Structure formats: structure tokens, C-alpha cells
Structure 1
Amino acid sequence: MDLSIIISVLNQFELFEETLSQIISNTQDFIEIIVIDNGSDEILSDYWKEKRLLGSKYVRFVRNDENIGNYPIFKQGLELSQNEIIAFFHSDLFIYEKGWDKRVVKVFKENSKLGLIGFIGSNEIDSFGGRGLGTMSNFQGRQIGKWKGSPAEVHGKRINDFRKAVLIDGCSMIFRRKCLEDIGFRPDFPVHHFYDRLMCCQVIEKGWEIRVLGIECDHISGMTVSRENKYYELVKKWFLERGINSFDEWYNKNIDWVNKIDNPNRGVKPTNYDHLCYLEAEKQFLTEWRDQKGFIPRMV
């Protein structure tokens, strides 16, 4: 049972150099690492040639001429990878634990119903799609160069073992290939925000199990999208393709949702394209999984 890693990078090359170095040095078995340059201003593989890191037997580079967002990377990664286990990591995830890959493969081998694991997650999804009080991780809170993580206790509970979960954070989502194929991809779901919630609910609905694995790591939150203008352009294009030309147009079209009593952002108007993307993703997720299906809130 072999492991592929998919990492999407948008600029932030210096940060990614550190995270990739940690992954390679702490991986014990041979694995496939596919780095997707997701429309960076410079070409990532050119940068790596200058850094003399391109020759690593682990790494191959794929270039997207335009940023496609976070959620579509799962479809692209599935198509690019060859292995039975596919790990999707944010480019600001530091993995410190030697042999982490062996632990990942082991838990999948031991449970044929296991479809998804991650390094931070929760045994709860609340009625707003949040992690509730059940957040678990083994975040270390270390200082790596100019970047510093936050320890597990800041987010919730520290674990170093293997726990049942219903929600995995998007910074580290590791799928069994068959599970990822089962849930598919929704082109009309926004390119960012709530995709991890959506995918976790789909995994459970399809009969697969979810776990959190307490691997020593850190996630430098908020670093995934480093150049807002490129991301905003992507989101604007996504909405224009769906006939939404302005913030007011979205607000007026969704006025019933905006005024809904259990809308967590009731009455709120979008203020920028990231905010608009968030509100649309929140609306789609809660409408389907809470209001229509009654799937959340959920706890295990």
C-alpha cells in the first residue's frame, strides 16, 4: 500500500522549502510527492533549480498557469497520483515526526473501512459546520525560522494516538483512493472554504470512517493564500461564470438565506471576494447537510 503526497503552492516559496525539507527528512519509506505550482507569480520549478533541490528522487512538479483554488486540487491530485493512499497537505504544514508515513500506511492497512484521516480534526460537527469542542491534534507550537506554530492546547485537546472523528481540517486530508473516487468532485461548490466540511460529510454518507492521527506537526494558519489579488481574481471569475456580477447581486439573490434565523452570518453583506466565497460556501454546505439532510450537528 503506497502513499502519494499532493501539495499545492501559491508563491510563499521560502516557506514551502522549509515544509518540504521537513517532510522529506522525516519520511522513512519511498513516497511520491507531487508539487502543484498553483499559478505562482514565478515558476516554482525554476526556483527549485536555483536552490538545487529539483533533483530529489521524491519530487515532481506540475504547473497550473492560473490559480484554480484549494478545492479543485483534490480532483487534480487524484488524476495525477498513482497510489492507493493520497495525502493532500497545505504548503504551510510542518511534519516533525520521523516515520510519520509508516503510521499513516499502518492505520489504513488495519481498517478496510477507513476512508480519511488527518492530523487535526474533531469528533463533532456543530450546527454551523464548526469543530465544536472536540478538536484534536498533536500540534507542537515550534518556531521554524521566521514561522511559529500554535500548540494543540490552543485549539483543543492534544493526542498522540488514533481517535474517531467526523471532521478533518483541510490542512491535512489523507484519503484512501477508493473513498476519494466515491465522493467525487462538485464543480459548483466554491473553490475555497467549507470544502473540508463538505468532503467529510460525503465520506461518512458513503459509509467510510474518519480518524484523527496524532502526528507531531504544526500548521502555520493563514499562510495558504499568500497573494490575495490572484485569489480574488479567481473567486470573481468563479462567480461571474455563474451569473453573479456584484456583491449586491449575490445578497439580493440570496435574501431568504441572508435573513434566515439560523444563518450564522444573518444579515451580513459580503465585503470582498474572499468573504463572498465564504458566505456562498457556508450557505451551500449548511443548506444541504443541516437543513435538507439533517446530517449535522453530528458527533462520534
Structure 2
Amino acid sequence: MKVSIIIPNYNTWDLVKRNITACLKYDDDLIEEIIVVDDCSPTLNYIHFPSKVKIIRNETNLHYTKTVNIGLKNAISDILVLLDSDAYPTKPFIKDLILQFEDLNIGCIGFKTINDLGDDSGNFMYFPSAYGLIAGQQIHKFLKKYDRRRNRKIIPFSCAVSFRKNCLKDLNYFDDYFPVLDADIDLCYRIYESKWKLIYHPEIEIYHVGGNSIPKDSKRVLLFYKSRWQLLKKFHLIPFPIITKSLILSRLLLETLIIKLKIILYTDIRPYYKLKLKGRKELIEMVKHFN
């Protein structure tokens, strides 16, 4: 049995080369193909790849989810490995992966990711709740360690994960209603609700620290809130939508007042806080239209 590796790319050809080189170095004999789906990068491919590497180029920019689905649907193997362009293996892993997939009920296996020091860089989360949106990302990061919900569902991120193709076919792949964020959370939740099993296998380690795909700015914050609201709404996990929206808006308005105060106090970095204020106002207007 061999696997297909899928790598989405947007203008990160050097990272793609590093990823492919590492994959072939450790597991060439167990790799059927490597599919790179280029999301209409402004820079065309200038690297000569081995023959088992297939390049698919989108004619227009389709964003992450549709790009990944193209690669997954075109793959010919029963086991599919999805890696971000800036991820790469640091040792052989496919033999172990194939052994895990001998359990025919398993549809998805998540991997551990590590940083430059070999420490866990965090490649999973637990399924979110509306409380995260109410508290905000920073406060929720602090409070989530006290989350004692039973039967919390572990969600491996799509930067380093694997699937059985029949599982993806059954569930119709990633939902491109989520163009960038939360498509992996949505798919994992649907796997849990299906006949398929999902496991997290930390014995497989992939290097990945992130930060090369989505800019961390106000647009990302807008995208996060929109995607997360729609995700929770899809699975009926917003028990009181009007109250939840009001609580989110109350927190955002308080944050806006704090930012305005900082604009007055910190004159040397005033442009930074003015930009944050603009982003908060845009976010408030968007949240007002949540339903």
C-alpha cells in the first residue's frame, strides 16, 4: 500500500520544495504521488520536481478549501496525507501511518507538529463552543485550560493530517462554504458524527510552526468571527443566538473604549491603535448582522 501526499501552495515554491525533498528522502518507496495544487500564484513554478510530483494550477484564486479539495479528489491512493507547504517530515512516518490505517474503521489520523526545538507546536484543538466567541480569543486562550466539558472532541488541524479517501467521499470532502478557516473543524465534526473513527497519533511528528498562509491582521479577525459563527450555527451549537450576539457586541464595545483610551495615552504608537480601532469598528458592524 502507498499513499498520496497533497500540498496546497500559494507563492511558496521554496517551502514546497523543502517539503517534497523531506517526504521523498524518508518515504520515497511508500509514496505513490505528490500532488501540489497551486492556487494561481503570481509566481509560476520555477523548480524542477521528480516525476512522481504532479502540479495542478488553478486558473483563478480559489482559496484554501477549494484548492485542497482539488488535490484530494485527484489523488489515486486509498490513504491521503495533507501537508501545508511550510510543513515537512523530520523522519520516516508513512510505514507507521499505513499500520494505523489497517483498522478499516479509521477515516482520519491527525499528526503531532513540532517547532525548531522539537517541542510540540500544537496541531489540534477541542471542538469550539459559543463561549469562545463571547469571551474573545485572548481571554478564551486563558480560560480554555479550565474547560471540563466531558467527551470533548479533539480536532486535528489540516496543516498536517491524513484521511482515508473513502471517508472523504462519504462526507463530500471539505465544505467550501468555509473558504479558509474552520473547514478542518467542520470536517472533523462530521467524521465524529459518521461511521468513521478519528484518532490523534502523536507518534508521527511533522515540523510546522505556521504563519505563512494567513496574515494575522484585522481581515483575519473578521474571517475568524464569520467562520466560527457559521460553524457553530451549522451544528446548532449557539443555544440563544440573540443573547450570544449581544454578549459578543458588549465585549467588542468595551474593547473599543479601551483602544480609544490607549490612543490618548500612548501617543508614540497612536497609528497602531488607530488601525486596531478601525478593525474593531468593522468587526462590530459585521457581528450586528449575524443571525
Q: Taking structure 1 as the reference length, what is the TM-score of the superposition? A: 0.63
- The aligned amino acid for 1:172 is A
Aligned to 1:151: 119
Give distance in 2, aligned partners of 1:138 and 1:191: 23
Aligned to 2:182: 194
Give distance in 1, aligned partners of 2:177 and 2:196: 22
Decide whether the 8 Å contact of 1:190 with 1:280 is kept in 2.
no
Aligned to 1:40: 41
Give distance in 1, aligned partners of 2:236 and 2:110: 23
- Kindly report the root-mean-square deviation, in angstroms, between the aligned alpha carbons of the 2 structures: 2.7
Decide whether the 8 Å contact of 2:37 with 2:68 is kept in 1.
no
Distance 1:186 1:58, change over 3 A: closer
Q: State whether structure 2 residue 13 is matched by structure 1 residue 13.
A: yes
Q: State whether structure 2 residue 90 is matched by structure 1 residue 96.
A: yes
Q: State whether structure 2 residue 38 is matched by structure 1 residue 70.
A: no
Which of 167, 174, 183 lines up with 1:179 in the alignment? 167
Answer with 1 or 2: which has the greater Rg. Answer: 2
Distance 1:217 1:6, change over 3 A: same
Decide whether the 8 Å contact of 1:94 with 1:217 is kept in 2.
yes
Identity %: 22
Aligned to 1:220: 209
Give distance in 2, aligned partners of 1:172 and 1:78: 14
Give distance in 2, aligned partners of 1:195 and 1:290: 16
Which of 226, 229, 234 lines up with 1:288 in the alignment? 234
Map 1:254-293 → 2, pairs under 5 A:
272-289=218-235, 291=237
Distance 1:150 1:14, change over 3 A: same
For structure 1, the 5+ residue unaligned runs are: 120-136, 143-148, 158-163, 229-270, 294-300
Deviation at 1:207, TM superposition (A): 1.8
- The aligned amino acid for 2:90 is Y
Which of 95, 99, 104 lines up with 1:112 in the alignment? 104
Distance 1:8 1:138, change over 3 A: closer
Decide whether the 8 Å contact of 1:165 with 1:212 is kept in 2.
no
Q: Deviations over 1:19-47 (max 9, x none)?
A: 22111111142421011111111112xx0
Aligned to 1:233: none
Decide whether the 8 Å contact of 1:33 with 1:60 is kept in 2.
yes
For structure 2, the 5+ residue unaligned runs are: 125-151, 240-291
Distance 1:186 1:220, change over 3 A: closer
Deviation at 1:272, TM superposition (A): 4.1
Decide whether the 8 Å contact of 1:36 with 1:62 is kept in 2.
yes
Deviation at 1:289, TM superposition (A): 2.7
Q: Deviations over 1:227-261 (max 9, x none)?
A: x6xxxxxxxxxxxxxxxxxxxxxxxxxxxxxxxxx
- The aligned amino acid for 2:98 is V
Deviation at 1:187, TM superposition (A): 5.6
Decide whether the 8 Å contact of 1:167 with 1:200 is kept in 2.
yes
Distance 1:206 1:79, change over 3 A: same
Aligned length: 210
Aligned to 2:22: 22
Regions of 4+ moved over 4 Å = 185-188
Deviation at 1:292, TM superposition (A): 6.4
Give distance in 2, aligned partners of 1:67 and 1:8: 12
Question: When you count helix as a share of all residues, which structure comes out higher?
Answer: 2
Deviation at 1:186, TM superposition (A): 6.5
Deviation at 1:185, TM superposition (A): 4.5
Decide whether the 8 Å contact of 2:4 with 2:75 is kept in 1.
yes
